[in-house]
């Protein structure tokens, strides 16, 4: 009889541990709900929104788009941003292209100031 009680208690204990582990997993996943939502928005932005409009003009895979090759060739935030804006300007209407190019000039100016100060 004691053996049966022990086996039943052990089984119940294992059920409780299993339930707690599953519940803990659900709670852990909920901690990242906002991150998951932002990542989903970022994916949509890249694959359907502005990212697709500006960077997927040739139908390139994400890893072949400017966001990747700029980082590979320019190890500077300012230079990378300037190149990105120059590249984007080539596919935009005149006024938006001018705004991007002015932004590129500002990033280049920031790099000049950084070089002069260091």
**Is there a contact between 83 and 74 (Cβ–Cβ < 8 Å)?**
yes
In a domain, 64, yes or no: no
Report the domain count for the chain: 1
Hunting for tokens 């694959």 — which residue is that? Answer: 47
Range of 118's domain? Answer: 74-118
> Which of the four pLDDT bands, split at 50, 70 and 90, describes residue 83?
very high
**Is there a contact between 68 and 51 (Cβ–Cβ < 8 Å)?**
no
The segment with the largest mean pLDDT, out of 30-34, 64-68, 78-82, is 78-82
> Which of the four pLDDT bands, split at 50, 70 and 90, describes residue 98?
very high
What is the pLDDT averaged over residues 87-110?
91
> Which of the four pLDDT bands, split at 50, 70 and 90, describes residue 73?
confident
What is the pLDDT averaged over residues 95-110?
91
In a domain, 25, yes or no: no
In a domain, 35, yes or no: no
In a domain, 106, yes or no: yes
**What is d(CA 78, CA 64) in angstroms, rounded to the nearest whole number?**
21
């Amino acid at each position: 009889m004691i053996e049966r009680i022990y086996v039943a208690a052990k089984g119940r204990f294992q059920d409780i541990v299993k339930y707690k582990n599953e519940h803990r997993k659900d709670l852990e996943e909920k901690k990242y709900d906002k991150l998951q939502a932002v990542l989903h928005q970022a994916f949509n932005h890249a694959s359907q929104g502005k990212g697709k409009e500006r960077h997927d003009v040739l139908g390139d895979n994400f890893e072949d788009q400017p966001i990747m090759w700029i980082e590979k060739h320019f190890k500077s935030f300012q230079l990378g941003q300037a190149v990105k804006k120059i590249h984007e300007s080539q596919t935009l209407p005149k006024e938006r292209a001018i705004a991007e190019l002015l932004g590129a000039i500002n990033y280049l100016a920031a790099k000049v100031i950084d070089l002069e100060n260091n």
